[in-house]
């Protein structure tokens, strides 16, 4: 996702990007994604408003509810309210649909991603960077943007970092056609259910025809840390979630299947050096992987792509100093990315709170829900 966004953005400002993807084909996998106005504003600026509206859903509100008794704790108006407030909508979309929107735009711009192209070597130099591609030999370029996710090969080779670490949280995901759900369980809102040591998020995708459900609990992964598509059973999820109100329990059991992955991350960034070195830069989860408690993973990658293109923009009569531009990109982006990383971690503690902290959280949401749930600093224009 981040790689396609970066290719599209940089192609719009005069570059000729080449996209190398290690997968053999683009497949319809993954869960839903929430896109705040900070992300949809950029997509609309790239001319993708119509394509986005053809596949996304635009929820009317975000409701926070108790997992134990179903009571509403807080509400944030979305729909026209948030679109008017920030000049762009709040959208929910299936990951595969966002990938298709970006892929179609990239191909329309004359950029054809190369599949089955795993990066196995990165050799920066004063003149650019040479990249070794498995089964394809070496390619050269002026810059390399590592947008290869949490387990980034580019990060490992250039930065020499250790692998991401387990958070102790497991994410279960499922998607179901709304028509297959009882009427009482269908929804065109974002619903967040909070309980001790767990929470569940459900929201519409595919123009509202399907409901995406993600439940996060505490526990150890039964499979490899890198495997984000493991089989899972509803009975296991029910056991991990504990006592639930009837509507939430019914929703868990209504899903036709569940997939599981273990959440891993890195500490919040501490400097721009973690995002760019010479002619190599990182983008999205490769730079700042974050826990899914702030719904900003895709948003931060899209913001990264827009800022990268702004700094690399080719202008008549002026050469681009690529290492300098990439350093500027990192300087402009790392603090915001680190802030979202830290807040995502904090939200996880709040969402899964027990005892007095849980009581205080619920009271605060009941008294000031919209003010607490809105994020002007995030949804407004920023780099």
CATH of the domain at 282: 3.50.50.60
Q: Is residue 99 part of a domain?
A: yes
C-alpha dihedral, 334 to 200 to 368 to 35, nearest 10°: 40
* Mean pLDDT value across residues 336-349: 96
Task: With a cut of 60, say whether residue 172 has pLDDT above it.
Answer: yes
- Span of 199-203, 215-219, 324-328, 340-344 with lowest mean pLDDT: 215-219
Known catalytic residues are 203
pLDDT of residue 29: 66
**CA-closest candidate to residue 194, choices 55, 310, 357:** 357
Contact 140, 130 (CB under 8 A): yes
CB under 8 Å, gap of 24 or more: what pairs does 124-128 form? Answer: 124/158, 124/277, 124/278, 124/279, 124/280, 125/279, 128/279, 128/322
Domain count of the fold of the chain: 1
pLDDT in tens, 118-158: 999 999 998 899 999 987 899 999 999 999 999 999 999 99
Q: 272 or 25: whose pLDDT is higher?
A: 272
* Mean pLDDT value across residues 210-235: 84
Q: Is residue 291 part of a domain?
A: yes
Binned at pLDDT 50, 70 and 90, residue 220 comes out as confident
* Mean pLDDT value across residues 294-313: 97
* Mean pLDDT value across residues 42-58: 97
Q: Is residue 332 part of a domain?
A: yes
314: phi then psi, degrees, rounded to nearest 5: -85, 125
Q: Is residue 211 part of a domain?
A: no
Answer whether 0.85 is exceeded by the pTM. Answer: yes
- Span of 60-74, 285-299, 309-323 with lowest mean pLDDT: 309-323
pLDDT of residue 319: 87
Binned at pLDDT 50, 70 and 90, residue 222 comes out as confident
pLDDT in tens, 224-236: 667 667 888 899 9
pLDDT of residue 229: 76
The H-assigned helical ranges of the chain are: 2-11, 37-45, 49-55, 79-86, 95-108, 153-159, 234-241, 246-254, 297-312, 322-351, 355-373, 376-379
Q: Is residue 311 part of a domain?
A: yes
* Mean pLDDT value across residues 83-111: 96
Task: With a cut of 90, say whether residue 107 has pLDDT above it.
Answer: yes
Binned at pLDDT 50, 70 and 90, residue 28 comes out as low
Q: Is residue 229 part of a domain?
A: no
Q: Is residue 153 part of a domain?
A: yes
Q: Is residue 50 part of a domain?
A: yes
* Mean pLDDT value across residues 286-313: 96
For residues 304 and 320, what is the distance between their CA atoms, to the nearest angstrom? 18
pLDDT of residue 317: 73
pLDDT of residue 383: 55
Range of the structural domain that residue 14 is part of: 2-60+76-164+269-355
Q: 163 or 29: whose pLDDT is higher?
A: 163
pLDDT of residue 225: 66
* Mean pLDDT value across residues 30-56: 95
pLDDT of residue 27: 73
């Amino acid at each position: 996702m981040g790689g396609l966004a970066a290719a599209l953005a940089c192609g719009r400002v005069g570059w000729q990007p080449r996209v190398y993807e290690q997968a053999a084909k683009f497949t319809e996998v993954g869960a839903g994604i929430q896109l705040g106005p900070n992300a949809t504003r950029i997509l609309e600026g790239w001319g993708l408003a119509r394509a986005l509206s053809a596949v996304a859903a635009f929820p009317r509100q975000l409701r926070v509810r108790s997992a134990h008794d179903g009571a509403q704790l807080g509400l944030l108006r979305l729909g026209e309210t948030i679109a008017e407030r920030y000049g762009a909508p709040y959208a929910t979309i299936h990951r595969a649909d966002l990938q298709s929107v970006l892929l179609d735009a990239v191909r329309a711009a004359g950029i054809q991603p190369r599949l089955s192209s795993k990066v196995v070597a990165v050799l920066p130099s004063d003149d650019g960077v040479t990249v070794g591609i498995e089964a394809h030999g070496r390619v050269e370029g002026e810059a390399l943007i590592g947008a290869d996710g949490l387990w980034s090969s580019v990060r490992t080779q250039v930065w020499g970092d250790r692998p991401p670490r387990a958070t102790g949280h497991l994410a279960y995901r499922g998607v179901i056609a709304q028509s297959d759900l009882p009427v009482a369980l269908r929804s065109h809102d974002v619903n967040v259910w909070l309980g001790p040591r767990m929470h569940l998020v459900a929201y519409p995708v595919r123009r509202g025809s399907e409901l995406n459900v993600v439940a996060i609990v505490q526990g150890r992964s039964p499979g490899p840390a890198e495997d984000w598509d493991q089989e899972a059973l509803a009975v296991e999820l029910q056991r991990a979630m504990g006592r639930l109100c009837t509507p939430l329990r019914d929703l868990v059991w209504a899903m036709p299947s569940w997939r599981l992955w273990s959440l891993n991350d890195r500490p919040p960034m501490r400097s721009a050096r973690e995002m760019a070195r010479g002619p190599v830069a990182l983008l999205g989860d490769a730079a700042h992987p974050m826990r899914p408690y702030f719904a900003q993973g895709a948003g931060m990658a899209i913001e990264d792509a827009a800022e990268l293109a702004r700094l690399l923009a080719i202008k008549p009569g002026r050469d681009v100093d690529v290492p300098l531009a990439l350093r500027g990109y990192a300087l402009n982006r790392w603090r915001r990315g680190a802030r979202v990383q830290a807040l995502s971690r904090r939200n996880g503690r709040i969402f899964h709170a027990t005892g007095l902290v849980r009581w205080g959280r619920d009271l605060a949401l009941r008294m000031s829900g919209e003010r607490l749930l809105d994020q002007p600093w995030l949804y407004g224009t920023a780099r």
